């Protein structure tokens, strides 16, 4: 009987917490967590306010640059300061419920977890006289009861894919800004805090952070305005899984984002040259196994922006890669930069020469390219031809503005 009770308890825990954690909180099914990467815009979101000691400074910084954001508010605080809620709405920001009581969903009773989104949505609607569409539970945590309550309230979960970690004891205003700038990309949803422990870093960091985002060309919109910010359903799951596979590949293969940023068109890592000995343009001889830098495409950015826009960005990003190579003692001794892909026309226009890939490898890589195209929703009109595009390191650095160090 004890074993049976234990199995039933474990099964209940899996259904109540485990599946919502894996499918919703981690994979993002049914949640809004990003927009399309077609436009260079993102959504800043702020949790845990309003606080009269910190929220006005956040609003001032946003107003200075004409930026709009989404505020997920705690209802007791919102009801205590309706003037701040009114200012948010008057200045074009979006206001959505965070919670009535800020407690983790796993620590609530099921009935309390069901009622929380309903109460939060209804109380905010009464305060603002605006319909409520979005809801972000405390800590971004879900249980089966939370999901039932959200369905009853008629709201959609709003998660994020860039976290500033402004709340962490080791964080500083500088580290918060650097962390956000390293992770932002078109369509990103960024979570920061305008109240609570995170405000001590976000408030002083925000003016400089907004300036950096503007300098990089980002428009700042509300979550509801972010293009393509729709709940993730099963049809979009292959793209989400492909992105997770890219991240896993980068971790295992020690592949880095160019310039340490997620909004560049390329990633890169140091490898050995895979083809037999080759003689490149200019008479450069490249041996099998020679040290080389292999570049990989940022697939979601390439798919959403299209080849023409990607070409414009690729020229800039290869200059950033040249800076990375010059700054890295190991990378700058590599003998070539190459990419194995189906992007021959793009890379030829960037100065790369094309070499054939052995048939077994070409078939395997073409199949993988087809899988990625289907995952990211790109029509497969014909079987992609996989080639190796390469530049000697000397020619690469000459073309993209860096001098090779001895």
The pLDDT, as a whole number, for residue 406 is 32
Lowest-confidence segment of 74-78, 182-186, 259-263, 360-364 by average pLDDT: 360-364
Distance (Å) of CA 121 to CA 148, 153, 342: 14, 7, 48
C-beta of residue 61 within 8 angstroms of C-beta of residue 210: yes
The pLDDT, as a whole number, for residue 300 is 87
379 pLDDT band, cuts 50/70/90, is: low
The pLDDT, as a whole number, for residue 279 is 93
Tens of pLDDT, residue by residue over 25-57, are 999 999 999 999 999 999 999 999 999 999 999
Lowest-confidence segment of 46-50, 285-289, 315-319, 356-360 by average pLDDT: 356-360
Inform me whether the pLDDT recorded for 403 exceeds 70: no
With a pLDDT cut of 70, the percent of the chain lying above it is 92
Distance (Å) of CA 1 to CA 4, 8, 11, 13, 173: 5, 10, 15, 18, 55
Where are the CATH 3.20.20.370 domain residues in the chain?
2-232
Q: Which CATH superfamily is domain 2-232 in?
A: Glycoside hydrolase/deacetylase (3.20.20.370)
The pTM (predicted TM-score) of the whole model is: 0.91
The pLDDT, as a whole number, for residue 302 is 85
- For residue 342, give every residue at least 6 positions away whose Cβ sits within 8 Å of its Cβ, in sequence order, or none: 366, 369, 384, 385, 386, 387
Please compute the mean of the pLDDT values over residues 143-152 and round it to a whole number. Answer: 97
C-beta of residue 153 within 8 angstroms of C-beta of residue 123: no
Inform me whether the pLDDT recorded for 405 exceeds 50: no
Please compute the mean of the pLDDT values over residues 236-256 and round it to a whole number. Answer: 88
372 pLDDT band, cuts 50/70/90, is: low
Give the span between the Cα atoms of 97 and 131, in whole angstroms.
Answer: 11
* Residues identified as active-site: 47, 193
The pLDDT, as a whole number, for residue 357 is 87
**402 is written with which tokens?**
């860096």
């Amino acid at each position: 009987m004890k074993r049976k009770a234990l199995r039933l308890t474990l099964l209940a825990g899996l259904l109540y917490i485990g599946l919502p954690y894996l499918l919703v909180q981690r994979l993002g099914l049914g949640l809004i967590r990003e927009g399309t990467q077609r436009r260079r815009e993102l959504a800043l979101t702020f949790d845990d306010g309003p606080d009269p000691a910190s929220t006005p400074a956040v609003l001032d910084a946003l107003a200075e640059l004409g930026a709009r954001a989404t505020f997920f508010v705690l209802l007791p605080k919102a009801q205590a300061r309706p003037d701040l809620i009114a200012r948010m709405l008057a200045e074009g920001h979006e206001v959505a419920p965070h919670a009535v009581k800020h407690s983790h969903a796993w620590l609530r009773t099921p009935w309390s977890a069901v009622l929380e989104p309903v109460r939060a949505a209804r109380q905010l609607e009464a305060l603002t006289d605006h319909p409520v569409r979005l809801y972000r539970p405390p800590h971004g945590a879900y249980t089966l009861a939370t999901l039932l309550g959200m369905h009853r309230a008629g709201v959609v979960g709003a998660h994020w894919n860039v976290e500033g970690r402004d709340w962490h004891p080791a964080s500083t205003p500088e580290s918060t800004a650097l962390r956000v700038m390293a992770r932002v990309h078109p369509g990103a949803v960024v979570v920061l805090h305008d109240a609570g422990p995170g405000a001590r870093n976000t408030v002083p960091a925000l003016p400089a952070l907004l300036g950096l985002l503007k300098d990089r060309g980002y428009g700042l919109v509300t979550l509801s305005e972010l293009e393509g910010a729709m709940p993730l359903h099963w049809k979009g799951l292959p793209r989400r899984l492909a992105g997770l596979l890219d991240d896993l590949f980068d971790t295992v293969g020690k592949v880095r984002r160019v310039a340490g940023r997620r909004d560049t068109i390329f990633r890169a890592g140091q490898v050995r040259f895979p083809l037999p000995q080759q003689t490149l343009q200019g008479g450069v001889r490249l041996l099998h196994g020679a040290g080389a830098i292999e570049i990989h495409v940022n697939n979601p950015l390439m798919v959403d922006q299209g080849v023409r826009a990607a070409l414009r960005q690729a020229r800039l990003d290869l200059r950033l890669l040249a800076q990375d190579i010059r700054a890295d003692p190991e990378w700058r001794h590599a003998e070539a930069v190459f990419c194995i892909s189906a992007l021959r026309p793009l890379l030829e226009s960037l100065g790369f020469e094309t070499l054939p890939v052995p048939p077994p490898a070409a078939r395997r890589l073409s199949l993988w390219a087809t899988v990625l195209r289907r995952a990211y929703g790109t029509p497969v009109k014909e079987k992609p031809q996989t080639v190796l595009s390469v530049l000697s390191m000397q020619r690469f650095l000459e073309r993209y503005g860096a001098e090779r160090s001895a």
